[in-house]
Structure 1
C-alpha cells in the first residue's frame, strides 16, 4: 500500500507518531508513505525511512509565495506515482485541497488529528497583546474549526483522532462512530526497553526524591504552576528540587520563566535543562524521580494525550497528573501515579503522598512499565492502524 502523507510538521520531524509510526513501523508492515512536508533545515535531502520525500518549497513571505505554497502540493502529486490513499495530518485549509484531490481521483481520504487546531489558534489569541494579531488568530481558529468539524472529518473515509475523548465529541456532533479511530500517544518500546538498563532501581527505594517535568514550557501549558507547587512543598521538604527537562519556545517566554523562578526564590531549587535529545532527556528520569504532568483542563488540552505521561510510566517514573480524560484513564488503569485537580493545594498534596512513601513509588514504577508495554506502544498501535488501512483496499 502506498500513501500520500501530508503533515503540518517540517520534514525533519522526529515525532514518534510521524517518524516512528509511519516512517518505521507501518513501513515495516508494507505501508509505503510518501511524506509531503516543508524543509526546516538547509542540510537536505533529509532521510525519511518510510518512502519518498516530497519537499514543499519554503519561500519568502508575500501573497504570491503563499498562493504558490498552497498550489504546489497539487502540482507535485499529479506527476507522482499512483497512491492508494491520502492521509492529511492537522492541515486545515490545505487539507481542503487534498480532500478535493482525493475525491477527484477517487482515493480514500484519511484525516489525522493530533490536536484541535482551532482551539490552538484561540489560545494563541488569548496570549497575544497585539489586537490585529489577536483578531487574525481568532479568525484562523474559526476557519480551522469550520473546515475540520464540518468538512474534513465528517466527509473523510477514516479519521484517526488523538484520544477517546476527541472521538466522543465527534460522535456527539453526529459523525459515524465507525470512521473514528482513537490513536493516543505511545512510545517506541524497542527504544524504551533498550534504555531500561540505565534505570537506577536501588535509588527508587530511598527516601530522597526529586520532581521532574518533561516537555515544552510554553505559556499555554502554564509552567508557572509547577513553580508555585514547588514553593509550597519546600515549606515541608526544604531540600526538594525540580528539574524542567525542556525549554520555552521563545526567548521572551524563557525570560518570564527565569524571572518567576527568581521572584519565588527558587533559583537553587529549579534547573532548566534547555532542549535535549530524547536519550539525554530520559537520562534525567533514571533515578528516584516523580514525574509531573499538570496539563491545564481546558478546550485545547481536554482532548489531548500527553506523551510525557506515557514516557514517565515507561521509564519507571510514578506520575502526578491533572484529570484530563486520557491522563486520568492511564493513571486509573495502570496504578502508576496519582491524579489531582490543578490547584496548588490538591496537586501539592498528591505529590506529598508520593514523597512520603518510597514503597508506593517503587510499586507504581513497576506498574507503569508493565502497563505501557501492554497498552501504549507504537509497535502495537501500528498493527491496529494497518488493519484499518487494509480494510479500505
Structure 2
C-alpha cells in the first residue's frame, strides 16, 4: 500500500522525530502538533534575511513584502476549509478569534441569550462561552446548554440537539460546536446543524481546530455564520502559531456588525494616513486588529503551499484508506481487548481513532510511548491516534498495532 500510495513522496518533505538511536518514531500525534515541513526553515530564513538586510523597508521591499503578507496565505487556506477568499483570514490565536467572533455574533437579549455547545467540548471553548455569558451579565450555569451523548455512549445524536432547539430555541442566541470533537473524533454535519440553528433564529459557529486540514469542511456551503481554527495541528505551522477565522460571505459588507477593531481592519488605502475615521475592510479581514507576526505567517505558508499542491480531495482520499487500515488492524485484536469510540462511518470522522483498551490505564500508554509510538492520552482512558495522510505511512500504523500487541501479550 505504501508503494502504491500517490502521496508517498510527501513524507520525505517532513522532519520525522527519531529516538536516541536514530530510529524514526511512529508519530501519530498530528492532532496535537503537526510535524515540521522541511521547507519551513527556508521560508522563515527568507524573512530573517530580509529583516537583517532591509530593516523597516522589508514591509514593502522584502521578497515577500510584509504589509500584505497574510494575503499570500488566503487562497490556500480558503481551499483547505472550503471557503471563498473573502471569507477567510489568518490572525491571532484560536480562542482569541472565538471571542472576537462572539463580540460580533453573540447578541443576547433578556429573552434570547443562551449558548449551546457539546457537553465534552474542548475546555477552552467551554471557558470562552461561559465568560461571554458572564460578560453580558448572565449566569453561565443557567445560560450554557450542553448537548450531551446518551447514557453509556460517547457519540452525539442530532435528534437530541433537535429536541433542545424545539424546547428552548427561542431562548438560544448561539450554537457553537467543535466541528470534529477532540475526544471521540466525531465529525459533525455542519450544514445540518446550521440549518437547524437558523430555523430557530440562532447564530451558528464552529471551532474547527480538529477539522482544518483533516476533513473537508466546506465552510461556505455549510452556511455557518463563523468558524475558527488553529494551524498547529493538521496544518503543521508550529507550536502556538497563528489561527484562522471564517466569516460567511453574507456578512462580508455588513458594517453595522458590532466588533472590536484595530488599524489592520481599516481600509488598506488609508491605513497609514493616521487621521482618517475608521473604515472597516470587507470580509473576514475586517476582524483583524494588529499587523501579524511575519515569522509565524511564514511557517504557515510553508505548510499551506504543500496543501495547495496536494489538495484536500487527495488528502482525504488517502486518509480514509489509511485510517480504515488502522481500524482493520485494531479490530483484529478483538472486541474484548480494544474498543474504538470514533464513529465507524468514514463520513463521520477524520483520520483520528480514539481507542480504549479494556482494563488498562495510563501505564499501558506509557509503555506504548517507550516502544517508540507517539500518540496522545486523554483522561480517563482514551488513546488518541491520528495517522496523518501527508506524512504517515501504512507501515506506521502497522508498527503501532504490532507494538501494542507485544505490550498486551507481555
Tell me whether the two structures share a fold, i.e. TM-score over 0.5. Answer: no
Larger RCO: 1 or 2 (CA < 8 Å, sep 6+): 2
